[in-house]
Amino acid sequence: MLTFLLLVSLAATQGTPVLQSPIHDENGPVKDLYQVDDMIFTAKEYREEVLGVTNSREKRQWTFKNLRTWSQNGNVVPYRFAEGFDEEWKHLVARAVDEWQRKTCITFRPAVASETYVIEFFHGTGCNSPVGMHSLNRISLEYPGCGTHSVILREIGHSLGMGNEHQHPEQERYLSVQYQNIEERLRQRYRPISATSVETHGTSYDPYSIMHYEAGPTDRPSMVMKDRTLQNVVGRQTSLSVGDANFIRITHGCSGHSGFSCPEDFGYYPDGSDGCTGFYQCVWRKASHFDCPCDTLVRNNAAVCQNQQRFDPNLNVCNHAENVPCVTAERKKETGKEEKEIGKEKKETGQGKTQN
């Protein structure tokens, strides 16, 4: 897993990335903002962080210290929607925000006017996000092309500080980039980043990351996976991987935390909010979120999870769904209300019999 700002230090050894903008928002061109792939930079950031040039004209090697994370804002991410943002898409954003919040220690909440650091979603050109934390992170979700759960998860991931997973320093161990099948102007998006230029925080390459590119069509792939079973899997995930969530927890100083409050020092607890397919593992009251396995199929160019197992709280293991009755948190609330109503009726009936 790569830190996002560090990801972009391609440096001269990998060739100069193509400056693709200035970018545009709903009001037209944005002065001094530039785009490389789906990463947005100021002119100064582009010069120093992408080209690796400082005022002294020396190459600049990025370290994690150069990335501002939301830990500097108490791991709280205030967000809002620009005027005119589609009402239905607000629900799509809320769903993605909920997944990030549920699986990490980041707290998302509606922004207020006095907030200094804010994420704002708007319908701009393309799907893109600023790098790291800024006073205003404007995430562009172009209508209608950027309205999928995986795209929104990915752009939020960029704002949280994540890089493109296929550019991992150990790329050549896991995949081979087919540059002859990639337009020359796009090739820099696939080049691996030097291990001396990035901070991986001890995490390894994750083919299931939401931040991974697709391998491309069978007859003209942009990447060929060393493990061919992953050829139609990478870049087609529709939810955060365990590695995605762990990386954000590590980079935000809350490794082992998932936002779940452990009732005891150790134990396994079902996540009733996700259809009973996830669970929390508590170690010294620090919780990590996991998803039960499933059969991954490719349908309409997307990885589809079928026959997903459910967490069995009686055995503390993932089990076949037919063997585990699922009661979600919402259903528990409804069941509780129903039981209260039944109890109330019984009480009233009993009182009526006594009176008779």
Q: Which amino acids are annotated catalytic?
A: 155
- CB-based contacts of 339: which residues, under 8 Å, 6+ apart? none
Which residue reads 């909010």 in tokens?
273
Which residue reads 């980043």 in tokens?
193
Burial tier of 261 (Cβ tally within 10 Å: 0-12, 13-18, 19+)? exposed
First to last CA, the chain: 72
CA–CA distance from 73 to each of 115, 175, 289 (Å)?
10, 37, 23
* For the chain, the helix, strand and coil percentages under 3-state DSSP, each to the nearest 5: 30, 25, 45
Q: What's the CA gap between 162 and 234, in Å, rounded? A: 17
CA–CA distance from 233 to each of 21, 61, 156, 214, 345 (Å)?
31, 33, 21, 8, 54
- Residue 59 is given by DSSP the state B
- CB-based contacts of 239: which residues, under 8 Å, 6+ apart? 99, 149, 150, 153, 210, 291, 305
Angle 149-160/87-103 helices, nearest 10 degrees? 60
Beta strands of 142-245 (E only): which ranges?
A: 175-177, 223-225
332 in helix, strand or coil?
Answer: helix
Each as own residue / partner, the long-range contacts of residues 24-30 (CB below 8 Å, 24 or more positions apart, any chain) are 24/124, 24/125, 25/122, 25/124, 25/125, 25/138, 25/140, 26/82, 26/84, 26/122, 26/123, 26/124
Q: What's the CA gap between 120 and 79, in Å, rounded? A: 6
